[in-house]
Structure 1
Amino acid sequence: MTRPYSLGVVAIVVTYQPVLEVLRKLLDALIPQVESVVVVDNGSHADFQAWSNERQTRNVEVLLLGENRGVAVAHNTGIQWARNHGARFVLLMDQDSIPSPDMVDKLVAATSELPSLAAVGPRYLDERHDNPPPFIRVRGLTLERCACDTQDHVVHVDYVISSGCLVPMAVLDKVGGMWDDLFIDYVDIEWGLRARHHGFQSYGVCSAHMQHSLGDQPIKFFSKNIALHSPLRHYYHFRNAVLLYKEPWVPLNWKLVDGWRLCLKYIFYSLFARSRMAHWRMMTLGVWHGLAGKTGKFEGSES
């Protein structure tokens, strides 16, 4: 039986070369919580296409983009499908995130009590890290990492990560969709800051939980596990950060705080990442392309 809070929620799952067993677990956890699921695939292998033909049911629609057009385009494709099918909310999900059985109910329930709502997101746990990553916001020139003091705590944040993000369709109609040209990385950050620019607020919902894999195998640095992405992902991360800093509507204090964090990441990954020269090269190229205004999919060699 469909739970009342799931009515009008369309989940958008973006895939690219997914591990099919993990994707199956995601869908099994997600389908009972929402009215329908649309899987938007960015040109995965033939095995995925065969699998998708078997998985399509009344509650699951699979849209094949045919090539890797990026997360932002895939999100916007799914959002348009949801809009055409009368959705009140869209729930964005990564292919390797697993929601708790009541995550969607908790998120939707929270929306009725939050003013000027842009989006709500769950507290997520990466089992490879020691602690659940906190929600983040910038105040003045300080980055605040907001822990969940109580189970029912709701946190004001600058943005929520895209996976597990629940957005009212009415807000998307006012703020607009994702910035296609970013391709991947900073897509959720840009949208969250743009929503704030339009007078909306994002919230972290501590009672909603999700398992989520952040990056590749983390780097052990003293007593901490530091998230690590591929050199290509670091290209997008640095390029898109610079592109966002160039936007006049982004608050100056946010640019300064995030820019300082970007400098620290540049130094750290250049010194300590596996294949650090590849990471250095792609981060440097990303900064250069961001300054030059280059957008879209990276065309070139990572080596």
Structure 2
Amino acid sequence: MQTSLTSAKISGVIVSYNPDIDALRHLVAAVAPQLDQLFIVDNGSRLNVSSSINHGMCTEIIELGDNYGIARAQNIGIERARSTGSSFVLLLDQDSIPASDMVAKLLAAVLAKQEQGYQVACVGPHYTDSRQRDAAPFIRLEGLKLKRQICSASNTLVDVDFLIASGCLIPISTIDAVGMMVEDMFIDYVDIEWGLRAQQLGYRSYGVCAATMKHALGDESIAFGKRHVPVHSPLRHYYHIRNAIWLCRQKWIPSQWKFVLMWRVARQFAFFSLMTSPRLEHARMMALGLLHGVVNRMGRR
């Protein structure tokens, strides 16, 4: 049976880890009215998330008791959504704030594309980071270059290769066909891997320019030319490098993507080794990530 705007059941999954409680409350208040159900999956935060959030706005708060990574937390939330009969799942990070009509705009875009006969992997909003001058572009690979796709109009749908997980609306039927998130990746590149895997199976992802969201990238940022580059901890840069190398080693990844990923690794290694402090620690952790990606040492560091 074709899903309609009125029959769609949408569950939200927020993954939290040592969140700013006020920001998390703001997120819950913003997104809960747009959903049928809302699950928070907490990855072993130091504070008690369950006692800090209004349970009247959440279907369930799942406290894992330890940090198992964003991929496993997302999978647990997705399974809960599936078990309750949801037809769509909306993934969210703790540092995102959706517009009041974001989910409705995303759902309308999915249903329109499905009506046209497309197999939809996911749709995601046009997001802004207050530390950046411009809204973040959508990304698509053309040849051997990642092309930034800018929204030319508010009603535009942008055909992309992948989307960031936060704000991503995914049909449960697509997850059934494509599979779950790779838990061994732990964090970083999880959404890229899933998006590219879906693409290889004939599913398409779309950026929805009419749907908007605020989202923070990185712990801080540094000015570099006309851009502000998000900067993470040395440990996060370890995961960036390791998971990019691991992804390059997958047989199903197209050769163009392998080239782009390796070039990206080289640029990140050089930039963060020279431009961020502590430089030696960033370089050491990225070198370790490179080694572990080559020898297939995955999971939590």
Aligning the two structures, in what range does the TM-score lie when normalised by the shorter sequence? Answer: over 0.9
SS at match of 1:38: strand
Are 1:97 and 2:100 matched, yes or no?
Answer: no
C-alpha contact (below 8 Å) 1:12/1:91 kept by paired residues? yes
In structure 2, relative to structure 1, the CA distance for the partners of 1:241 and 1:66 (3 Å cut) is same
The 2-side partners of 1:260 and 1:80 are apart by 36
C-alpha contact (below 8 Å) 1:6/1:104 kept by paired residues? no
SS at match of 2:26: helix
C-alpha contact (below 8 Å) 1:35/1:59 kept by paired residues? no
The 2-side partners of 1:134 and 1:46 are apart by 35
The match for 1:60 is 59
The match for 1:301 is none
Are 1:187 and 2:187 matched, yes or no?
Answer: no
Q: Unpaired runs of 5+ in structure 2?
A: none
The match for 2:24 is 23
The match for 1:76 is 75
Structure 1 letter corresponding to 2:292: H
The 2-side partners of 1:203 and 1:72 are apart by 21
Q: Unpaired runs of 5+ in structure 1?
A: 299-303
SS at match of 1:211: strand
1:251 aligned to which of 254, 273, 279: 254
In structure 2, relative to structure 1, the CA distance for the partners of 1:6 and 1:23 (3 Å cut) is farther
Q: What do the CA deviations read for 1:194-235 (whole angstroms, capped 9, x no partner)?
A: 101111011111110000000011011233211111111100
Matches within 5 A, 1:158-177: 158-177=161-180
The match for 2:299 is 296
What RMSD, in angstroms, separates the aligned Cα atoms of the two structures?
1.3
C-alpha contact (below 8 Å) 1:214/1:227 kept by paired residues? yes
Matches within 5 A, 1:29-68: 29-52=30-53, 55-57=54-56, 59-68=58-67
Alpha-carbon offset, residue 22 of structure 1: 0.1
Are 1:201 and 2:200 matched, yes or no?
Answer: no
C-alpha contact (below 8 Å) 2:159/2:207 kept by paired residues? yes
Are 1:228 and 2:227 matched, yes or no?
Answer: no
Aligned residues: 293
The 1-side partners of 2:198 and 2:226 are apart by 36
Are 1:120 and 2:123 matched, yes or no?
Answer: yes
The match for 1:109 is 108
The match for 2:132 is 129
SS at match of 1:148: coil
The 1-side partners of 2:270 and 2:204 are apart by 32
Q: What do the CA deviations read for 1:26-82 (whole angstroms, capped 9, x no partner)?
A: 000001101010000001123424224xx2237431011110000000000000000
Alpha-carbon offset, residue 142 of structure 1: 1.8
Q: What do the CA deviations read for 1:9-33 (whole angstroms, capped 9, x no partner)?
A: 1000000000000000000000110
The 2-side partners of 1:99 and 1:7 are apart by 19
The 2-side partners of 1:214 and 1:126 are apart by 7
SS at match of 2:112: coil
Alpha-carbon offset, residue 7 of structure 1: 4.2
The match for 2:84 is 85
Are 1:240 and 2:282 matched, yes or no?
Answer: no
SS at match of 2:181: coil
Q: What do the CA deviations read for 1:161-208 (whole angstroms, capped 9, x no partner)?
A: 000000000000111110010000000000001101111011111110
Are 1:262 and 2:265 matched, yes or no?
Answer: yes
- Percentage of matched positions with identical amino acids: 46
SS at match of 1:108: helix
SS at match of 1:57: helix
